[in-house]
Structure 1
Amino acid sequence: MKVAYHASFPGFEPAAKCEVEGASFHTANDLTELARLAHGSEALLILATDYSQDFANAIREPGGRLRFIQFLSAGYESAGAHGVPPGVALSNASEVWAPVVAEHAVALVLALVRRVPDLERRRQARRWDRPAFNASLSSLDGSRVALLGYGSIGREIAKRIRPFGAHIVGISRSARDCPLLDEAVALSELRELLPTVDILINVLPASPSTTGFVDGDFLTLMKPGSYFVNVGRGATVDEAALADALRRNLIAGAALDVFEREPLDASSPLWSLENAILSPHAAGYGSPGIVHRAHELCRSNLRAFRDGTKLRNLVTPGAS
């Protein structure tokens, strides 16, 4: 089994770390060479951001041997946008990034409810004013936290939120229950749920049906004084509508790690809003465990592909 890979994931060394009997790993120096290698390989390991339209066209050329693509990213919208060759299975790597993304999501929630940016502004102004600050605080303790999208990242967030004493609601199409949840709600019931939620954490993937999902109507339904956090995909949020909701104090605050276009344009009104926290798509980084989990996932899935058994994290490009 020939496996193609481009060394664009720092620290990831499949040839040295993935130990799959019968597999030979071939590393490309650039994406043009990777497309050529992938066309003649049975399996491909690639970051979703490297999967361009030109790349997708190249691996669809007649005579290709490719039958399995392992994305090393949680997102796989580039495969939906550009397509994969017929008969090729695709897996993503959401579980690789999920623990660290969840950690970052909880950090953003805590920064909002404990008003950490306001503390920093007060420090810079040498302002004490304890009664006013204390009156502005909220807490996860006794709050109602909803996870919009309940896959591997949502589950990891729920694990980390639970010790704070929050009531956790998981929102998904299937409303599938889970021991980590206090409540499972179908996406069809979202409009009724929104006015009851104190903190909404968006973990939706990007797809045609989720583009602009969090729009003006959505934000109007949210509980006054509530908070919104996005660690899913930037395309799922109408940023103009969110900025307007924050400016009008329809919600108390928002923390965003992903944006419609990255880097966020300097002209975006989000930069100037004191009730917004912005982080530069950093949620998945900072842990050596990421590379370890990437090696383990690829080792497992390449063996499963070789043996014809069930693949982990199998996804359907373009699915809603």
Structure 2
Amino acid sequence: MKRTLLLLYKVSQQHLSNLQNIAPDWNIVHTTDKTVAAQLIENAEVVMGNHHLCESLPLNKQKIKWLQTNSVGIDYILKRCGTLLENIIVTNARGVYNDEICEHTIGLVLTLHRNLHLIRDAQHLHQWERPIQLPLLSQKNAMIIGYGSLGKVIGEKLSMFGTKIYGVNTEVQFFIDEKGTKKHWKEILPTIDIVILALPYTNETINYFSATEIQQLPANAILINIGRAGTIDEKALYEHLNTNKIHAAALDVFDDEPLNPEHTAWTIKNLFVSPHMARTRELKPPFQYEQFFEENFKRYINNESLQNIVDITKGY
């Protein structure tokens, strides 16, 4: 029986041809239909894509060896598929969307920093509101929490404005201040003007940036979350925004999506609601992840190490 690759997304002829050239003797099938996916997955050795994955996975008879997702965050898949992923190599799309998400993040930083969100509100009221003495980004300290491949790209671009960058991840938790004193990242929050969260959602990152951390920020601080919902205490953030204890925030992800019309977030003047758009919806091919999929599939065929292997116990 031919080895089977199942693609759970819309496939362009060029992408299909590229994959078939990599593995001429493989059976490469594709669908976005739930019923068809349940049938095609029965004998699949490799699956690429998320569409109807969790519903179909229990029907796999020949144990899947490798699953490639088209998303960076896989908490949803881990939650729904659970033990079905045991002994399966799982890889994600880390790095594929870095440029797009980075551009959106920089846009949010500039929007809040230059008060463009408030100017837009004033425009709707036909009011000429000209801010006074806006500071430069070159005068600011930014902390990026979740300093992986995406966080580093954001830091690199933001540093081009002259902003000082503090990157926080599991390896980097301490920094040396001007006096040569070693301090934990939480200790220097009162000196941070811009906080950017780019965290995955795991058991360790739930409310990672809690009310305790939010209240340490100075009154001029802005906060942006382009990572996963649930990594920040939204309720505490709303309270600090409503009382102007911090200057402004922009959230691209929320605990409850989409926001219902009565949600409190809509009424907070200094909160910019970014409707989960740091990575835009791709409805038809070619998709951004195709080239990465092809490269990883080539590695699999050649028995080489795969890129972006996920530790399912950690969740990233």
Superposed, 1:149-228 pairs within 5 Å as 149-175=146-172, 189-228=184-223
Listed as ranges, the gaps of 5+ residues in structure 2 are 175-182
- Counterparts in 2 of 1:165 and 1:65: CA distance versus 1, 3 Å: same
Offset of residue 12 of structure 1: 9.3
Counterpart residue number, 1:15: 16
Q: Residue 94 of structure 1 aligns with which residue?
A: 94
- Secondary structure at the aligned position of 1:298 is classed as helix
1:128 is matched with 128
SS at match of 1:200: strand
Letter in 1 for 2:59: A
Q: CA RMSD in A?
A: 2.7
- TM-fit CA distance, 1:29: 4.2
Contact 2:8/2:47 (CA < 8 Å) preserved in 1?
no
SS of 2:215's equivalent in the other structure is helix
> How many angstroms does 1:27 deviate by?
0.9
5+ long unaligned stretches in structure 1? 178-187
The alpha carbon displacement at 1:291 in A equals 4.5
Sort the Cα spacing of 1:240 and 1:12 in 2 relative to 1 into closer, same or farther, 3 A: farther
User: Identity rate of aligned residues, in percent?
Assistant: 24
Change (3 A) 1:12 1:297: farther
Per-residue CA distance 1:43-97 (angstroms, 9 max, x = gap):
10112x7443x444334xxx42310000001111123213243321011102111
CA drift of 1:245 comes to: 1.3
Residue 57 of structure 1: aligned partner? 58
Q: Does 1:234 align with 2:236?
A: no
Distance 1:50 1:316 in 2: 22
Given candidates 280, 290, 303, the residue that maps to 1:308 is: 303
What is aligned with 2:37? 34
> Equivalents in 1 of 2:245, 2:266: separation in Å?
18
3-state DSSP of counterpart to 2:241: helix
Size of the alignment, in residue pairs? 301
Residue in 1 that maps onto 2:251: 256
TM-score by length of 2: 0.86
2:70 corresponds to which residue? 72
Q: Secondary structure of the residue that 1:168 maps to in structure 2?
A: strand
